[in-house]
């Protein structure tokens, strides 16, 4: 997609700047990185504030019980909480990830900050209920903040259960996910017709299809937006390998390519939170730093796309 396809209207953007200003809060003293502010956005359904950088767990947390790998992941999780992180996203689809999250949460400081998000990924009402109960046990928590229907799978059945669970206080928010640009038409139909609190899909500086319909629709419907695959599973870094970060990245407090990619995403007005995945402490610190300081404005976002496409 080139710049001509870039379709954020000025009106939308001005509104978003006002919203962004309203949601940039001072972080608690321990979290003020170089006197920068932790960036928060609000969940439209309730006005609850969330830090814009969350954490994914696909593949990175799907490991065995090797103590060395576990203790490295424990440090990754601790770096997440220590730098203001709250939202962790997982799924029963991610092998051992939910069990590992549970094991590491039990050792983590500040785990009371957790905003727990997982998914239901099976067919049938009873199987769905069993799977969600198993997930609770694996994470070792009493309730999920957000339960999402993974990849639209048997969504009519699970949506009924999720509404009941929300009414009973067993979950706080309902959501649905897709990725890689799949099922967008069907997802749009669902978003138009069903009240949901969250929607999750892929969006990054290379793959900006979601700007055309999904992001505006989610904003119009008052849904919080989680963004997966912010680094195209890491392939974006290959494209910029050996390339210097432009000097003007400093204008929005950006010191690395990781921060460049994440700040591009969370500066979109409709995006609530992005969920990069990493198994490395230094990458986690890098990712979390994107959640502090200034964000690019509309003109800067265009410049970022231009620059990235020129590489």
Ligand X SMILES: NC(=O)c1ccc[n+]([C@@H]2O[C@H](COP(=O)([O-])OP(=O)(O)OC[C@H]3O[C@@H](n4cnc5c(N)ncnc54)[C@H](OP(=O)(O)O)[C@@H]3O)[C@@H](O)[C@H]2O)c1
d(CA 170, CA 146): 10
Q: Which is nearer to ligand X, 263 or 283 (CB)?
A: 283
Q: Which of 84, 85, 175, 258 binds ligand X (CB under 6 A)?
A: 258
Least distance in angstroms from the C-beta of 113 to ligand X? 18
Question: Could you say which residues in the range 95-154 bind ligand X, by CB under 6 A?
Answer: 150-151
- Binding-site size for ligand X (CB under 6 A) equals 29
164 Cα distance to chain centroid: 25
| 143 neighbors 171 (Cβ within 8 angstroms) | yes
Task: Assess 279 for contact with ligand X (CB under 6 A).
Answer: yes
Question: Could you say which residues in the range 35-94 bind ligand X, by CB under 6 A?
Answer: 56-58, 60, 89
d(CA 69, CA 235): 23
Q: Which of 184, 213, 280, 303 binds ligand X (CB under 6 A)?
A: 280
| 126 neighbors 133 (Cβ within 8 angstroms) | no
d(CA 292, CA 311): 26
Of 27-35, 102-110, 163-171, 273-281, which part binds ligand X (CB under 6 A)? 273-281
50 Cα distance to chain centroid: 10
Spell out the residues 6+ positions from residue 11 whose beta carbon is closer than 8 angstroms to its own: none
Handedness of CA 76, 104, 78, 88 (dihedral sign): positive
Task: Assess 174 for contact with ligand X (CB under 6 A).
Answer: no
Q: Which is nearer to ligand X, 208 or 283 (CB)?
A: 283
Q: Which is nearer to ligand X, 31 or 79 (CB)?
A: 79
Element (H, E) at 145: strand 144-149
Handedness of CA 205, 211, 214, 217 (dihedral sign): positive
Task: Assess 233 for contact with ligand X (CB under 6 A).
Answer: yes
Integer CA distances (angstroms), 237 to 177, 178, 240, in order: 25, 23, 5
Of 157-165, 241-249, 269-277, 293-301, which part binds ligand X (CB under 6 A)? 269-277
Question: Could you say which residues in the range 181-200 bind ligand X, by CB under 6 A?
Answer: 200
Q: Which of 84, 175, 276, 296 binds ligand X (CB under 6 A)?
A: 276
Of 28-36, 188-196, 274-282, 294-302, which part binds ligand X (CB under 6 A)? 274-282
Least distance in angstroms from the C-beta of 82 to ligand X? 16
Least distance in angstroms from the C-beta of 299 to ligand X? 25
Least distance in angstroms from the C-beta of 204 to ligand X? 7
- N- to C-terminal Cα distance for the chain? 14
Integer CA distances (angstroms), 95 to 63, 118, 191, in order: 8, 13, 29
Of 64-72, 159-167, 214-222, 276-284, which part binds ligand X (CB under 6 A)? 276-284
The residues binding ligand X (CB under 6 A) are 56-58, 60, 89, 150-151, 177-179, 200, 228-234, 237, 258, 275-280, 283, 286-287
């Amino acid at each position: 997609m080139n710049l001509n396809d870039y379709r954020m209207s000025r009106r939308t953007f001005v509104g978003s700047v006002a919203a962004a200003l309203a949601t940039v809060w001072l972080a608690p003293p321990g979290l003020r990185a170089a006197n920068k502010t932790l960036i928060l956005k609000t969940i439209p359904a309730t006005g609850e504030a969330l830090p814009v950088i969350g954490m994914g767990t696909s593949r990175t947390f799907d490991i065995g019980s090797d103590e060395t790998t576990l203790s490295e992941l424990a440090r990754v999780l601790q770096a997440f909480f220590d730098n203001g992180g709250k939202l962790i996203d997982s799924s029963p689809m991610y092998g051992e990830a939910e069990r590992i999250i549970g094991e590491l949460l039990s050792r983590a400081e500040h785990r009371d900050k957790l905003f727990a998000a997982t998914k239901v990924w099976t067919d049938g009402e009873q199987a769905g209920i069993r799977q969600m109960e198993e997930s609770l046990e694996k994470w070792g928590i009493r309730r999920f903040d957000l339960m999402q229907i993974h990849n639209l799978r048997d969504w009519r059945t699970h949506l009924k259960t999720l509404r009941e669970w929300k009414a009973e206080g067993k979950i706080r928010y309902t959501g649905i996910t897709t990725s890689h640009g799949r099922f967008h038409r069907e997802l749009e139909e669902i978003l138009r017709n069903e009240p949901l609190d969250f929607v999750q899909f892929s969006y990054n500086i290379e793959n900006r299809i979601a700007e055309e319909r999904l992001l505006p629709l989610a904003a119009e419907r008052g849904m919080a937006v989680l963004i997966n695959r912010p680094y195209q599973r890491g392939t974006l870094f290959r494209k910029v390998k050996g390339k210097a970060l432009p000097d003007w990245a400093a204008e929005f407090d950006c010191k690395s390519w990781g921060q460049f990619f994440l700040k591009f995403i969370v500066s979109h007005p409709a995006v609530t939170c992005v969920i990069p995945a990493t198994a490395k402490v230094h990458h986690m610190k890098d990712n979390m730093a994107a959640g502090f300081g200034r964000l690019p404005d509309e003109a800067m976002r265009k410049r970022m796309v231009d620059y990235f496409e020129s590489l």
